[in-house]
Chain A
């Protein structure tokens, strides 16, 4: 209650400063006058009395200042005065002001930009379900297509039959998905669109790719294992970013037919906004296509190894893993024997 009262009185004083200060002036004058009269009654002349009072009481300006300074709202007054002086000085030296403002703007801008990047890349969790359950099979970043023993036993690329074998014989994985280790350039034209085909980045992925990541579509649906079979009609998922920036978030894209490298694909859905694929890269895929639709010959040949694998463990398997024994050893033991046996 006293706090509220103090606040109200303070604000009132702040906005009726002149009345308040005349009040104080009058009160103070009256005080000094009474003191002087007292002394005159004791036999001083008026001049002597006034001098004596001034000696006793000190300067009335100092008294006034003391009373003003004891108020909380005087802090606001001082601040606003300081601000006004500050702005006046800045106004007087525009060159200095410009440099200061630019320095601050660039500094804040750069910091914000860097933080935005760090936030997106490092702080924000991946837009996938339970990333801790995900394991990539392999221990290097070799790319593209290889045959035979890779890098002295270090291993990361898999042939399609080896992927199938691992997928079907590792019950520890709830899901094991495969995807191309490189992103092919695609030439894409919307069916019925007279404009010429445009270049895009694509990624061939196994039918359970989205299911393995635990990702559901922003619109439409994601690819399913059904799409990843030879007789299924070709289907594709478009990235949210591409859908927004290249197709103006046009809802009719979902369900539309796109001619991708001369093959008609149905766009079955849009991936969620922050999903840019399995790898952090500057040219993320615009479209995800089923492995089964890859026209390359490597697909069902056992020899060439060109797929990356990522799998999801069930919670019980994950907790039983220690750092010493893990998936890293799996591809090392398997590659040559498994490929030979399958080929």
Chain B
């Protein structure tokens, strides 16, 4: 189950992270928890995949990061969606919908 994330298509993980950050800025661990909750335990992202994806998104200018205090008054790096990231999320969501519909049509034919 822990390796489930590697079964995801690369673009899918990026899209899911963008979606999570669209709600509010969040630190790495928060993102995995949120993804697990929203997928009702289907997706568990491990730290390896997560940080590689975060680095990739940050380098392509879709998200940015800053150190902030957590609720436990420790320090954590929070990731924030940029304007460009929001646009990318919209377009990827549309594209995803199109593909899902197409695949569904094929499978139901």
Contacts and interface: CB of A to CB of B under 8 A. Distances in A.
A38 B33 contact: yes
Nearest to B62: A2
A8 B70 CA distance: 30
Interface in A22-53: 23-24, 26-28, 30-35, 37-38
A70 B52 contact: yes
B67 to A, nearest CB: 9
B9 to A, nearest CB: 16
Nearest to A3: B60
A11 to B, nearest CB: 12
B51 A24 contact: yes
Nearest to A2: B60
B47 A30 contact: no
A62 interface: yes
Contacts of B22: none
Contact of A30 (B33, B59, B60, B75): B75
B59 A67 contact: no
A63 B51 contact: yes
Between B30, B52, B72, the greatest number of chain A beta carbons within 10 A of the residue's beta carbon is seen for: B52
Given A30-B75, A35-B29, A38-B33, A9 B47 contact: no
A9 B76 CA distance: 21
Interface in A70-101: 70-71
A26 B46 contact: no
B35 to A, nearest CB: 14
Contacts, number: 72
B41 interface: no
A1 B61 contact: yes
A56 interface: yes
B76 to A, nearest CB: 5
Contacts of A5: 59-61
B40 interface: no
A244 B75 CA distance: 78
Nearest to A9: B59
A343 B33 CA distance: 115
Interface residues of A, number: 29
A197 B60 CA distance: 80
Nearest to A1: B61
A28 B47 contact: yes
A57 interface: yes
Interface in B32-57: 33, 44, 46-48, 51-52, 55-56
Given A35-B29, A38-B33, A70-B52, A27 B76 contact: yes
A66 B27 contact: no
A5 B48 CA distance: 23
Contacts of B60: 2, 5-6
Contact of A27 (B2, B28, B44): B28
Return the 10 tightest CB-CB contacts between A and B, nearest first: A34-B29, A63-B48, A2-B60, A70-B52, A66-B48, A57-B47, A6-B59, A31-B29, A67-B51, A27-B77
Interface of A: 1-2, 5-6, 9-10, 23-24, 26-28, 30-35, 37-38, 56-58, 60, 62-63, 66-67, 70-71
Interface of B: 2, 27-30, 33, 44, 46-48, 51-52, 55-56, 58-61, 70, 72, 74-77
9 contacts: A10-B59, A30-B70, A30-B74, A30-B75, A30-B77, A31-B29, A32-B47, A57-B2, A67-B52
